Chain A
Amino acid sequence: MNIWNLKNKSVLVVDDYDKMRALMREILAPLAADKIMMARNGYEAIELLEKHTIDIVLCDYKLGNGKDGQQILEEARHRNLLNYNAVFIMITAENTSKMVMGAIDYLPDDYISKPFTPSQLQNRLEKVLNKKAKLDNIAAAINQKNYSSAIALCEQKLHESSYGQTEVLKTKGELLIKLGRLDDAEYFYQTLLKERNIPWARLALGQVYFKKSNYGDAAIQFESLMQECPDNIAAQDWLANTLEKSGECERCQAVLEKAIQKSPKSSTRQRKLAAIALQNGAFDIAEKAYESAISEGRNSCFGNMADISGLVKSMISQEKIEEAKKAIEHIKKNYKKTDEIRLHTALASSIIHRETNEPEQCKQNLDAAFKLMEMQSIELDSESALDVTQTCLAVNNLELAGKVVKQLVSNHFDNAKLLDQVKALYEKAGKLDEGEAIIERSKQEIISINNEGVKLAQEGKLEQSINFFAQAAKGMPNNATINFNAAYSMIRQMQTTGEISKYLPLSRQFLEQGHKIDPHNQKYFQLIKLAEELSSKAA
């Protein structure tokens, strides 16, 4: 009866209600899927996604206590648990607005609202799959990370016909951006927009301008999108990013506040608002936003417990010391006692005692935090590291401060603004000389490590250089340069021997890690091109 079917496809159904799962199985049965898997909650879903290659996810948005559907989607896409052309369909209650779900960068391929008939679901599936089918070989190239050849395939398709190719156009643009070909991307989107005012193309053009640090033109695109449709949350998020970069902090806060009114469930957006409000001195707004960032981040892969320190800081600034203490107690009591929670509640407590001049309690919490960091080799984000440095200096523990600064410098030795912030902390504590000395020493250390590895590579001792950088990257996983250099030595080695199986995936891992740390670093784009050439030569 069905002309199309799900042969060779594996399907994952996520629903907490057993009758619904049974019903879905019934609906899917005649479509002859290769495999139908069931998950009752987010954790089961993520586990199945980790273990299996799944082509279609049918996920209920509301799943009881744990992760919701949007959080599953975000984690699956963010952690690359889904192939490029995998389909994710969100099943929602009738009155759930799409915005309520809080999506920023991760949208499902389609929404379907309950109740639906079997044929409605089948029709939706067929439509989405047809759309994705246009990407068949392009998606295969992307899954193999052969981005340039994927672009070539896009161009070939577009040459055949430029109509009905929205998916291909979107993909081509994304790939141009991914490979850092920003001029090409700009021209590509501008050409599209000449003929028709297409919102997704305008959003992407704005992002290209943003990446080119052309914040003026970026803002124009995002603002025009918001004028056409005030509900365009993505445009608001990007406008906020743009305003932040151009130093318009008050406007940035206003835009984020408006976006959050409409779509409050994203912990990332809440965190952004909280940070900018704290900076702007709008402490009550910061407090509320940090609270939301913590609670919305609870089951999200974008949750970050460093928010506890932010919450405490915004409360202290309003002289709500007791409330701040209570907030920490509340988290200790109600959250699972992970090392991350222990660490960040200790750090937040140390901040409170620092501000209330209780050095003994402050020291106790600092010690507890350092023990955890060393035991679990946890690295602090730079905001937390600055806080800890300040606290260490306040209790006059130069040794611990030095440890934190050393790590901070080793990861960010070329970030002058951050190093100035460190210096300012030492200066405020009346220890400018010590501060400058430790920064300089750490900087030299990292530079000499780097030089040693580069020298090995230059002398042709590529295996040694690879081992050296890989070892260094283990100790400094958040140092972009070390990651890029590890990848570079591997690429040189592959170029010399012609043997790619050993290092290609590993070198890509280092590249992606470096890119994640420092998205603007051009080295990534140069190296990823070399990696591609190697892989296409081998194929």
Chain B
Amino acid sequence: MNCVDFSTLLASCIHDLKNEMGILISKMDEIAHAATDHNKTEMEQLLLQGKNVNDHLVQLLVLYRINESQYYPYFAETDIQVFLDETLAHFYPLFAQKHITLTVNCPKDLYWHLDSDLMRGAIGNIMHNLYAHARSNVTIAARTDNQALVIQIKDDGPGYPDEMLQPACHHQKKFSFKSSNTGLGLYFSEIAAQLHCNYDKKGHIALSNNGINGGGCVTVVLP
């Protein structure tokens, strides 16, 4: 098979999958609306999972386009409080099921220039990661510091293993098909942050164990 290169083939495949997923999700949405109280929660769970898959497919496409130099971020001045509310909205019910409390700490009138599609995906990935690790508390805080927007997401889980705490640029080499999570999510988040630049300054993501009681802490810095 040497008619097209494999990544183009994959990309168009992902594109179709994404569209089919879209149809699936809207059908599930209809069913969830009509569901009885009894299985409503289950349906909503399914729906969330479906959306999660869809998000990942979208992110894969974005990564493909970045790789092909076809993706150009679109920055718009964004109300960060509104942005976080929208991004986190569907995580509240998800986390509530595990009895994890989400606390958002964002000053009113905090605005920043960002590509909200990219960053919604980036923050979403981080939240999905936390879902597996956090015990009972997650805090999300946003502020400006040294002419950059800093979003810090802390949990009270066991913290990241040492190999994860290496400089972020190595994440991409650590894909592993052995665990349930290949690290793609975090890789996307890192790339999304890096695409945020202002003149010669570039965004980045840092991991540490400065979370709640030694839990994980993800710091997103956007210039």
Is the pair B77, A229 in contact by a Cβ cutoff of 8 Å? no
Of A161-169, A415-423, A456-464, which binds chain B? A161-169
Given the interface pairs A117-B29, A196-B113, A197-B198, the reply to whether A164 lies near B72 with Cβ below 8 Å is no
Main secondary structure, interface of A, reads: loop
Distance A196 CA – B26 CA, assembled complex (angstroms): 40
Interface positions, chain B 87-126, Cβ under 8 Å from A, are 109-111, 113
Main secondary structure, interface of B, reads: mixed
Interface positions, chain B 66-96, Cβ under 8 Å from A, are 72, 75-77, 79
A399 close to chain B: CB less than 8 A: no
Is the pair B77, A166 in contact by a Cβ cutoff of 8 Å? yes
User: Which of the residues A115, A166, A198, A229 comes within 8 Å of B72, measured between beta carbons?
Assistant: A229
A231 close to chain B: CB less than 8 A: yes
A322 close to chain B: CB less than 8 A: no
B199 close to chain A: CB less than 8 A: yes
Distance A115 CA – B79 CA, assembled complex (angstroms): 27
How many A-B residue pairs lie within 8 Å, measured between CB atoms?
28
Q: Which B residues are CB-close (under 8 A) to A161?
A: 109
A381 close to chain B: CB less than 8 A: no
Q: Per-residue CB proximity of B28-72 to A under 8 Å, as 1/0?
A: 010000000000000000000000000000000000000000001
Given the interface pairs A161-B109, A163-B111, the reply to whether A197 lies near B199 with Cβ below 8 Å is yes
Is the pair B198, A166 in contact by a Cβ cutoff of 8 Å? no
Is the pair B199, A163 in contact by a Cβ cutoff of 8 Å? no
Q: Which A residues are CB-close (under 8 A) to B29?
A: 117
User: Which of the residues B75, B111, B198 comes within 8 Å of A164, measured between beta carbons?
Assistant: B111
Interface positions, chain A 197-248, Cβ under 8 Å from B, are 197-199, 228-231
Q: Which A residues are CB-close (under 8 A) to B198?
A: 196-197
Distance A76 CA – B33 CA, assembled complex (angstroms): 40
Q: Quick one: which of B75, B77, B109 has the most chain A CB within 10 A? A: B77
Distance A165 CA – B77 CA, assembled complex (angstroms): 8
Is the pair A228, B76 in contact by a Cβ cutoff of 8 Å? no
Is the pair B113, A231 in contact by a Cβ cutoff of 8 Å? no
Q: Quick one: which of A115, A196, A199, A229 has the most chain B CB within 10 A? A: A196
User: Which of the residues A166, A230, A231 comes within 8 Å of B76, measured between beta carbons?
Assistant: A166
Given the interface pairs A117-B29, A197-B198, the reply to whether A164 lies near B76 with Cβ below 8 Å is no
Q: Which A residues are CB-close (under 8 A) to B19?
A: 94
Would you mind naming 8 contact pairs between A and B with Cβ atoms under 8 Å apart?
A115-B26, A117-B29, A163-B77, A163-B111, A164-B77, A164-B79, A164-B111, A196-B199
Binding site for B on A (CB under 8 A): 94, 115, 117, 161, 163-166, 196-199, 228-231
Binding site for A on B (CB under 8 A): 19, 26, 29, 72, 75-77, 79, 109-111, 113, 198-199
A164-B111, A231-B72 are known contacts; what are 5 more A-B pairs with Cβ within 8 Å?
Answer: A117-B29, A161-B109, A197-B198, A198-B113, A229-B72
